[in-house]
């Protein structure tokens, strides 16, 4: 579908522009079209209707160029993309600096990787922009600023590029200021540049509003209601703007009360807002405001899509629908209001997360910028006077795209209803945490005087314990025997290796799917790592005692998560939230009954020797840094979804994972005497388990259960998933002899 | 799986929620815990503190701790089955006049209490409300039992604000009295309570018996002196209201207050009743104190 649309568009472009020089790269030809039109604009002072048609062709070519870029990225290697970029940068010396050229360049720099299919390419573009927003924008800025001279229009474009970078970096704080400074451009510049400045200044202000209280949101709603009376004219004005007519048509009726209210509100803010207020009194204030509202709502929709990052299929479907609704009902502003309210709520909650890092913020902004251009193209298509066949193709392509994505991702997720997604989103947002509290097990194993004999780690033990500083009343110097309890309990508990033999309706594969999903749920509720390991332990212990039906598998998993969070965490999800995340598959009585049943079957013994308690101790014996810690936990997490790993005890799994992690990160020697002492294993004992873990590591990103791989691809976990696994482990006789000594 | 009434029978009520029951030839004490209460109006299942506490009690195996044997569920209630203590065990061991027949018995009982506290602290379990009412003693066998459920908490567990007017104040440590509704309990608080019990065994009356926090702190400072930054670093930041400190007082001579105690006992008592929680002796060190030589 994308390919067919692209081809038809290419034909249209060629017919419109006329005979051009033939080139091997289609992208290059489109850039040449831009330069011709721009040269004509600079040379000829008269505005004619034919030139308007040329502008329309330019706009249409932008769509073709962007699609061609995507297709180009699928068919040719990275060199081809680089060639296109070189050609486009060479054109800057002879052009005035069109917005479309810069936008296309940004898209090219964002799509630098190879993709196998068109649909995956679209997803890849967005992911790439989230992973490397600053780099792409910086490249664009460097290339553009290097080519520009000291002319007025050139400086304007340089400042525009800086404004984009500032928007990403400073959270829109200085955007209004930079936008205001654009009014200082000499009088010789055209009104189009002024229009762009007006639009950006409004964007900055509205984004500032969205971060204020609900009262401001009410003010925004009132403004929308005012615009509702002029809906038709606003749409017409927007339509004219997208067709790039030289003079923006002002509406016959000016909404002075709206402007006056805006002016009054701005006086209470900073001086920059006052300056923007003066800008807002221009002739095109009202149409620009309408455009800003639509743009702002689409941006906030894209902000909400960030929350759905880890629930792939259904979130995508939900995200697409508002855009379709928005495109189909141009004359009504109510969908804008609803979407804005929902998006504002999502964004406010997003920003209230204490763990939101600067990188995440950049990713969100870059994603918004990327999707803004895509949304603008859709609006352009919907407002351009085209045949009904084109409209039909546009509307059909969206559901097909979403269906394709759904098919890909449904295989790795348990099914859940679409109708509950909106409710799930609002309810599943975890509570804000001011600081990281310790879990129950961490408080149990903390403070033990392990490793005190060894001089190497005595210094580490003598370092001040930051966690205990906030509680100056706590004095805990006991040599606890909690670890002795863990070792004894682990030895006493039977292995859970073959418990599937008592099950008739479930399979190891189903267990893997369930745990893969539970890891995602655990992340979404923002629970502690200890809670995840206890959840899986309780699940396996229960399944080794009770034969269940396939339909109860998810109920047991969610109830195990509830129990684990009650035991470990300082906060546990509500039963209502867990029921909603299962798409109302179970009732409250069923979940509470399952809770009591699990407690009775496990005899209320929840202090189980999970992999976490052993890994924490082994990492201490290894004197590990952050990357080794994350790599070791990554490997242990890979064992959670594999039924095969149940053949080994948790302590052996942790020792083997740590061994493989040290080998993978080139740490020598991979097994030290201190590790041997506290992990209580020799290298020969962990060999089989380590080989199994290496097998899991090689298959990590390839299989369908990828939540763990994605979890450890994030920056806060050192991106250890990207580290290449070893071909094989170094089982050398020298190592064995050394450990024996 | 047997239901509650199939497994246990011959119920005999002891108090409002405590029963004596039988299974085969053994007797047990059963306590009813209702899950649905004012704290759990939303009904999110078994409360987290019950899950934690039962999980802890299930693992404890100590001669001086009342043992939790079984847990049953029946409808909205939990039934905790404890070992049964016959008539030879009497609650509130300090009120038994036979306790003081031999001076050695005081040392023996104190050692058992400290040994139990050290055992619990090694498992990060706080007693938090240790007082004579929670201690049962068998005079014949000289075995002491501490009942834990309902009071025990663990480190770092999120606790509801504990009103300072609830329960007995006599065994509260000064750092707890300083902070009304303070949620931070730790091991030194339990050691302070043991020190108060020790003093009460010696004097045959509570060591501190003020009816309110202010009066209780005044009694403490009258005996042990008003704390200063030198004796208790950080006390000015802990003490929210300077009015609680009162006029400066000098510590009294413990040897004159407790003439029946030998120098080792005085040393142990002064260390358990040290005002600064960081300087207070730990239960683990206390059981190794020279005072218990020969026990």
CA distance A585 to A581: 9
Q: What is the DSSP letter of A465?
A: -
Instruction: Report the relative pairing of strands B68-74 and B26-34 from DSSP bridges.
Output: unpaired
Compute chain A's Rg from CA coordinates. 30
CA distance B143 to chain A (A): 25
Q: What mean pLDDT is predicted for residues A239-246? A: 33
Q: Are residues A666 and A685 in the same domain?
A: yes
Long-range Cβ pairs for the range A387-395 (8 Å, 24+): A393/A1, A393/A5, A394/A327, A395/A324, A395/A328
Q: Are residues A614 and A604 in the same domain?
A: no
**What's the pLDDT at A233?**
35
Cβ atoms of A417 and A276 closer than 8 Å: no
Q: Which of B48, B83, B118 is the last residue of a domain?
A: B83
Give 10-residue mean pLDDT values along chain B (295 residues).
73 74 80 65 73 80 84 80 74 64 76 89 74 76 74 45 50 76 66 90 83 82 85 76 72 84 89 88 88 80
Nearest C-alpha in A relative to B176? A473
**What's the pLDDT at B5?**
67
Q: What mean pLDDT is predicted for residues A196-223? A: 34
Substitution target in A433, A473, A537, A565 with the highest count of B β-carbons within 10 Å is A473
**What's the pLDDT at A499?**
86
Higher pLDDT, A741 or B259: B259
**What's the pLDDT at B71?**
85
Q: Are residues A621 and A713 in the same domain?
A: yes
Instruction: Please name every residue paired with A324 in a beta bridge, in sequence order, or none if there are none.
Output: none
Active site residue B264: no
In a domain, A184, yes or no: no
Choose among A476, A592, A603: nearest Cβ to B45. Answer: A592
Nearest C-alpha in B relative to A601? B1
Q: Are residues B271 and B225 in the same domain?
A: yes
Say whether pLDDT at A681 is over 80: yes
Q: Beta-strand (E) ranges in A600-680? A: none
Number of Cα atoms under 13 Å in the Cβ half of residue A325:
17
Q: What mean pLDDT is predicted for residues A462-467? A: 34
Q: What is the CATH number of the domain that holds B146?
A: 1.10.510.10
Chain A partners of B72 at a C-beta cutoff of 8 Å? 600
Choose among B42, B73, B154: nearest Cβ to A443. Answer: B154
Nearest to A649 by CA among A602, A684, A681: A681
Say whether pLDDT at A64 is over 80: no
- The string of pLDDT tens digits covering residues A116-153 is 333 333 333 333 333 333 333 333 333 333 332 333 34
Say whether pLDDT at A92 is over 90: no
Cβ atoms of A176 and A208 closer than 8 Å: yes
User: Residue A609: which pLDDT band, with cuts at 50, 70 and 90?
Assistant: confident
In a domain, A545, yes or no: yes
**What's the pLDDT at B76?**
76
Nearest to B277 by CA among B163, B181, B182, B166: B182
Q: Are residues B51 and B92 in the same domain?
A: no
Substitution target in B3, B36, B156, B276 with the highest count of A β-carbons within 10 Å is B156
Please count the structural domains in chain A.
Answer: 2
In a domain, A710, yes or no: yes
Say whether pLDDT at A156 is over 70: no
Q: Are residues B55 and B164 in the same domain?
A: no
**What's the pLDDT at B214?**
79
Cβ atoms of B206 and B198 closer than 8 Å: no
Angle at B74 between CA B73 and CA B80, to 5 degrees: 45
Kindly give, in sequence order, each residue whose CB lies less than 8 Å from that of residue A514, ignoring residues fewer than 6 positions away: A414, A539, A553, A554, A557
Nearest C-alpha in A relative to B74? A596
Q: Which H helix or E strand runs over A188?
A: none
Say whether pLDDT at A264 is over 60: no
Q: Which of B20, B52, B83 is the last residue of a domain?
A: B83
Given an 8 Å threshold on Cβ–Cβ distance, is B44 in contact with A572?
yes
**In terms of residue numbers, what domain contains A576?**
494-608
Q: Are residues A572 and A650 in the same domain?
A: no
Say whether pLDDT at A644 is over 50: yes
Cβ–Cβ contact A587 with B under 8 A: no
Q: Beta-strand (E) ranges in A107-261? A: none
Say whether pLDDT at A403 is over 60: no
Nearest C-alpha in A relative to B281? A475
**What's the pLDDT at B184?**
52
Q: CB-based burial of residue A536 (10 Å sphere; 0-12 exposed, 13-18 middle, 19+ buried)?
A: buried
CA distance B58 to chain A (A): 7
**What's the pLDDT at A367?**
35
Q: Are residues A685 and A626 in the same domain?
A: yes
Nearest to A456 by CA among A659, A661, A621: A621
Q: Are residues B147 and B167 in the same domain?
A: yes
Q: What mean pLDDT is predicted for residues A160-180? A: 35
Largest Cα span, chain B:
65
Cβ–Cβ contact B138 with A under 8 A: no
Given an 8 Å threshold on Cβ–Cβ distance, is A595 in contact with B282?
no
Cβ atoms of A635 and A697 closer than 8 Å: yes
Q: Are residues A594 and A625 in the same domain?
A: no
Say whether pLDDT at A489 is over 50: yes
**Cα A168–chain centre separation:** 15
Cβ atoms of B275 and B174 closer than 8 Å: yes
Given an 8 Å threshold on Cβ–Cβ distance, is B277 in contact with A596?
no
Q: Are residues B171 and B282 in the same domain?
A: yes
What is the 3 state secondary structure string of A370-400?
HHHHHHHHHHHHHHCCCCHHHHHHHHHHHHH
Residue A661 to residues A168, A644, A664, B121, Cα–Cα distance (Å): 36, 19, 5, 35
Compute the count of residue pairs across chains A and B with CB atoms less than 8 Å apart.
115
**What's the pLDDT at A482?**
67
Say whether pLDDT at A519 is over 80: yes
Nearest to B77 by CA among B111, B35, B44: B35
Q: Are residues B148 and B54 in the same domain?
A: no
Q: Which of A54-58, A82-86, A265-269, A493-497 has the highest mean pLDDT?
A: A493-497
Q: Are residues A527 and A541 in the same domain?
A: yes
Cβ atoms of A712 and A657 closer than 8 Å: no
Q: Are residues A719 and A614 in the same domain?
A: yes
Q: What mean pLDDT is predicted for residues A191-201? A: 35
**What's the pLDDT at A497?**
79
**Cα A659–chain centre separation:** 32
Which of B:54-83 have CB within 8 Å of A?
54-56, 58-59, 71-73
User: Residue A226: which pLDDT band, with cuts at 50, 70 and 90?
Assistant: very low
Say whether pLDDT at A635 is over 90: yes
Say whether pLDDT at A696 is over 50: yes
Q: What is the CATH number of the domain that holds B20?
A: 3.30.200.20
Higher pLDDT, A606 or A458: A606
Q: What is the DSSP string of chain B?
A: ---HHHH-EEEEEEETTEEEEEETTEEEEEEEEES-SGGGTT--SS-HHHHHHHHHHHH---TTBPPEEEEEEETTEEEEEEE---TTEEESGGG-GGGGSSHHHHHHHHHHHHHHHHHHHHTTEE-SS--GGGEEEETTTTEEEE--TTT-EETT-------TTSS-STT--HHHHHSTT-----HHHHHHHHHHHHHHHHHSS-S---SSHHHHHHHHHHHH----TTTSTTHHHH-S-GGGT-S--PPP-HHHH-TTS-HHHHHHHHHHT-SSTTTSPPHHHHTTSGGGTT-
**What's the pLDDT at A447?**
56
User: Residue A570: which pLDDT band, with cuts at 50, 70 and 90?
Assistant: low
Lowest mean pLDDT segment, chosen from A60-74, A555-569, A605-619, B49-63: A60-74
Q: Which of A547, A578, A608 is the last residue of a domain?
A: A608
**What's the pLDDT at A98?**
36
**What's the pLDDT at A426?**
36
CA distance A567 to B76: 20
**What's the pLDDT at A669?**
85
CA distance A432 to A571: 11
In a domain, A158, yes or no: no
Q: Are residues A598 and A615 in the same domain?
A: no
**In terms of residue numbers, what domain contains B24?**
4-83
Cβ atoms of A200 and A193 closer than 8 Å: no
User: Residue A102: which pLDDT band, with cuts at 50, 70 and 90?
Assistant: very low
User: Tokens representing B92?
Assistant: 């509130």
User: Tokens representing B69?
Assistant: 């044997």
Cβ atoms of A299 and A372 closer than 8 Å: yes
CA distance A705 to A29: 43
The dihedrals phi and psi of B12, each to the nearest 5 degrees, come to -140, 120
Nearest C-alpha in B relative to A589? B45
Say whether pLDDT at A617 is over 70: yes
Order the strands of the B135-138 sheet from edge to edge: B89-91, B135-138, B143-146
Cβ atoms of B137 and B143 closer than 8 Å: yes
Q: Which of A608, A635, A650 is the last residue of a domain?
A: A608
User: Residue A287: which pLDDT band, with cuts at 50, 70 and 90?
Assistant: very low
Q: What is the DSSP string of A14-36?
A: HHHH------S-HHHHHHHHHHH
User: Tokens representing A338?
Assistant: 């609803």
**What's the pLDDT at B242?**
58
Q: Are residues B66 and B174 in the same domain?
A: no
**What's the pLDDT at A633?**
94
**What's the pLDDT at B259?**
86
In a domain, A386, yes or no: no
Cβ–Cβ contact A607 with B under 8 A: yes
Cβ atoms of A495 and A508 closer than 8 Å: no
Nearest to A194 by CA among A144, A234, A248: A248
CA distance B241 to B73: 47
Q: Are residues A615 and A714 in the same domain?
A: yes
User: Tokens representing A537?
Assistant: 């332990």
Q: Are residues A600 and A499 in the same domain?
A: yes
Q: What is the CATH number of the domain that holds A554?
A: 1.10.472.10
Higher pLDDT, A569 or A165: A569
Q: What is the DSSP string of B137-183?
A: EETTTTEEEE--TTT-EETT-------TTSS-STT--HHHHHSTT--
Cβ atoms of A323 and A298 closer than 8 Å: yes
Q: Which of B25, B53, B83 is the last residue of a domain?
A: B83
**pLDDT averaged over chain A?**
53
**What's the pLDDT at A517?**
93
Cβ–Cβ contact B34 with A under 8 A: no
Say whether pLDDT at A48 is over 60: no
Q: Which of A565, A588, A608 is the last residue of a domain?
A: A608
* Buried-state track A398-417, b at ≥16 Cβ within 10 A, e below 16: eeebbebbbebbeebbbebe
Angle at B282 between CA B280 and CA B286, to 5 degrees: 105
Say whether pLDDT at A689 is over 90: yes
The dihedral formed by the CA atoms of B209, B215, B216 and B220, expressed in degrees to the nearest 10: -110
What is the 3 state secondary structure string of A671-718?
CCHHHHHHHCCCHHHHHHHHHHHHHHHHCCCCCCCCHHHHHCCCHHHC
Q: Are residues B107 and B248 in the same domain?
A: yes
Number of Cα atoms under 13 Å in the Cβ half of residue A152:
10
**What's the pLDDT at A691?**
92
Q: Are residues A536 and A631 in the same domain?
A: no
The dihedral formed by the CA atoms of B278, B280, B285 and B289, expressed in degrees to the nearest 10: 150
Q: Are residues B64 and B122 in the same domain?
A: no
In a domain, A98, yes or no: no
Say whether pLDDT at A656 is over 80: yes
Please count the structural domains in chain B.
Answer: 2
Q: Are residues B182 and B214 in the same domain?
A: yes
Q: Are residues B98 and B243 in the same domain?
A: yes
Residue A641 to residues A88, A226, A688, A695, Cα–Cα distance (Å): 48, 56, 18, 13
Compute chain B's Rg from CA coordinates. 21
Q: Are residues B123 and B56 in the same domain?
A: no
In percent, how much of chain A has pLDDT > 90? 13
């Amino acid at each position: 579908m994308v390919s067919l649309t692209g081809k038809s568009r290419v034909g249209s472009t060629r017919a419109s522009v006329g005979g051009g020089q033939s080139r091997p790269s289609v992208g290059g030809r489109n850039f040449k079209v831009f330069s011709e039109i721009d040269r004509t604009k600079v040379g000829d002072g008269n505005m004619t209707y034919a030139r308007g048609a040329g502008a329309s062709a330019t706009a249409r070519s932008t769509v073709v160029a962007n699609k061609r870029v995507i297709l180009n990225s699928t068919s040719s290697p990275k060199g081809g993309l680089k060639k296109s970029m070189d050609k486009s940068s060479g054109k800057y010396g002879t052009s005035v600096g069109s917005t479309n050229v810069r936008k296309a360049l940004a898209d090219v720099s964002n799509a630098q990787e190879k993709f196998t299919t068109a649909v995956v390419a679209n997803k890849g573009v967005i992911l790439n922009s989230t992973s490397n927003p600053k780099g792409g924008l910086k490249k664009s800025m460097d290339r553009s600023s290097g080519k520009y001279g000291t002319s007025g229009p050139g400086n304007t474009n340089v400042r525009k590029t800086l404004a984009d970078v500032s928007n990403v970096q400073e959270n829109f704080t200085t955007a209004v200021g930079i936008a205001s400074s654009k009014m200082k451009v000499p009088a010789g510049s055209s009104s189009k540049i002024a229009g762009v400045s007006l639009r950006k200044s409004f964007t900055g202000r509205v984004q500032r509003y969205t971060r204020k209280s609900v009262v401001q949101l009410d003010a925004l709603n009132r403004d929308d209601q005012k615009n509702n009376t002029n809906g038709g004219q606003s749409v017409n004005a927007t339509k004219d703007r997208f067709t790039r007519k030289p003079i923006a048509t002002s509406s016959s009726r000016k909404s002075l009360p709206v402007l006056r209210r805006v002016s009054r509100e701005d006086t209470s803010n900073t001086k920059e807002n006052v300056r923007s207020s003066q800008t807002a009194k221009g002739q095109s204030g009202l149409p620009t405001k309408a455009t800003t509202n639509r743009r702002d709502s689409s941006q906030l929709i894209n902000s909400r899509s960030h929350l759905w990052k880890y629930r792939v299929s259904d979130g995508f479907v939900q995200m697409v629908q508002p855009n379709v609704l928005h495109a189909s009902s141009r004359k009504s502003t109510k969908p804008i209001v609803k979407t804005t309210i929902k998006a504002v709520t999502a964004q406010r909650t997003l920003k209230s997360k204490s763990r939101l890092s600067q990188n995440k913020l950049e990713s969100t902004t870059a994603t918004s910028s990327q999707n803004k251009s895509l949304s603008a193209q859709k609006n352009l298509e919907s407002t351009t006077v085209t045949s009904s066949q084109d409209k039909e193709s546009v509307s059909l392509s969206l559901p097909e795209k979403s269906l394709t994505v759904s098919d890909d991702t449904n295989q790795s997720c348990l099914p859940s209803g679409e109708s509950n997604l909106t409710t799930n989103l609002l309810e599943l947002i975890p509570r804000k945490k001011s600081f990281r509290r310790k879990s129950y097990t961490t408080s149990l194993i903390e403070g033990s005087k392990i490793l005190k004999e060894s001089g190497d780690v005595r210094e580490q033990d003598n370092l001040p314990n930051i966690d205990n500083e906030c509680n100056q009343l706590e004095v805990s110097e006991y040599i606890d025997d909690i670890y002795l309890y863990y070792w004894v309990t682990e030895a006493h508990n039977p292995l859970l290796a073959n418990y599937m033999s008592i099950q008739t309706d479930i399979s190891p594969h189903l267990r893997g799917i369930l745990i893969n999903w539970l890891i995602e749920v655990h992340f979404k509720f923002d629970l502690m790592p200890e809670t995840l390991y206890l959840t899986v332990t309780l699940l396996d212990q229960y399944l080794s005692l009770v034969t269940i039906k396939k339909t109860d598998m998810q109920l047991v998993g969610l109830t195990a998560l509830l129990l684990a969070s009650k035991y470990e965490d300082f906060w546990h999800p509500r039963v209502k939230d867990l029921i909603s995340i299962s798409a109302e598959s179970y009732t409250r009585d069923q979940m509470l009954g399952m809770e009591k049943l699990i407690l009775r079957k496990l005899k209320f013994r929840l202090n189980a020797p999970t992999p976490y308690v052993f890994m924490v101790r082994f990492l201490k014996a290894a004197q590990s840094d952050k990357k080794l810690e994350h790599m070791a936990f990554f490997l242990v997490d890979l064992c959670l979804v594999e039924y095969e790993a149940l053949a080994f005890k948790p302590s052996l799994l942790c020792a083997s994972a740590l061994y493989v992690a040290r080998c993978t990160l080139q740490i020598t020697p991979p097994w030290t005497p201190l590790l041997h002492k506290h992990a209580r294993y020799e290298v020969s004992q962990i060999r089989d388990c380590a080989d199994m873990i290496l097998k899991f590591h090689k298959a990590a990103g390839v299989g369908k259960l990828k939540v763990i791989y994605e979890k450890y691809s994030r920056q806060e976990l050192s991106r250890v998933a990207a580290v290449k696994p070893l071909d094989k482990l170094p089982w050398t006789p020298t190592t064995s002899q050394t450990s024996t000594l | 799986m047997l239901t509650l009434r199939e497994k246990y029978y011959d119920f005999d009520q002891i108090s409002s929620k405590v029963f004596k029951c039988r299974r085969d030839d053994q007797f047990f004490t059963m306590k009813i815990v209702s899950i649905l209460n004012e704290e759990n109006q939303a009904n999110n299942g078994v409360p987290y503190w019950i899950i934690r506490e039962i999980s802890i009690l299930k693992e404890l195996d100590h001669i001086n701790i009342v043992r939790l044997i079984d847990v049953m569920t029946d409808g909205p209630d939990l039934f905790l089955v404890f070992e049964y203590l016959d008539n030879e065990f009497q609650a509130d061991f300090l009120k038994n006049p036979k306790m003081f027949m031999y001076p050695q018995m005081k040392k023996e009982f104190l050692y058992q209490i400290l040994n139990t506290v050290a055992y619990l602290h090694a498992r990060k379990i706080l007693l938090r409300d240790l007082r004579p009412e929670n201690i049962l003693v068998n005079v014949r066998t000289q075995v002491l039992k501490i009942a834990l459920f309902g009071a025990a908490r663990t480190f770092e567990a999120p606790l509801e604000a504990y009103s300072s007017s609830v329960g007995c104040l006599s065994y509260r440590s000064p750092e707890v009295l300083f902070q009304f509704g303070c949620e931070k309990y730790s091991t030194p608080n339990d050691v302070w309570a043991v020190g108060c019990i020790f003093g009460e065994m010696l004097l045959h009356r509570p060591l501190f018996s003020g009816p309110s926090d202010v009066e209780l702190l005044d009694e403490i400072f009258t005996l042990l002196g008003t704390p200063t930054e030198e004796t208790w670093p950080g006390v000015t930041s802990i003490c929210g209201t300077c009015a609680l400190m009162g006029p400066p007082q000098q510590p009294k001579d413990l040897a004159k207050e407790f003439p029946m105690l030998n120098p080792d006992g005085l040393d142990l008592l002064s260390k358990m009743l040290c005002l600064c929680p960081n300087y207070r002796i730990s239960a683990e060190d206390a059981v190794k104190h020279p005072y218990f030589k020969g026990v």
